[in-house]
Amino acid sequence: MVIINQTRRNEGKVVQLGKYELGKTLGEGNFGKVKLARGTDCGQFFAVKIHPFTNIKSNLYN
């Protein structure tokens, strides 16, 4: 799991996150977004679920 402290709002653009390139949003719900990602080292595509940091933080203390 990777926790990112900075929120990026680049809808429609590719964002580099470590060895992955995050692309378009595939879905969105109460617990976060699912984005299309491509591994830059292997070229395979993945679905990555991104949880808002506020949800993670509140769940840690419950």
Extents of the domains making up the chain = 15-60
Q: What is the pLDDT of residue 47?
A: 94
pLDDT of residue 6: 44
Name the binding residues for ATP.
Answer: 49
- Asked whether 37 and 31 are in contact (CB, 8 A), the reply is no
Task: At 53, list the tokens.
Answer: 């940091």
Query: Which H or E run includes 21?
Result: strand 20-29
| Amino acid 7: pLDDT | 44
Q: What share of the chain is helix, strand, coil (3-state, %, to 5)?
A: 15, 45, 45
Per-residue pLDDT tens over the stretch 6-58: 445 555 577 888 888 999 999 999 888 999 999 999 999 999 998 877 655 55
- Fold for domain 15-60? Phosphorylase Kinase; domain 1 (3.30.200)
Please enumerate in sequence order all residues whose Cβ is within 8 A of that of 58, keeping only pairs 6 or more positions apart, or say none: none
d(CA 62, CA 58): 7
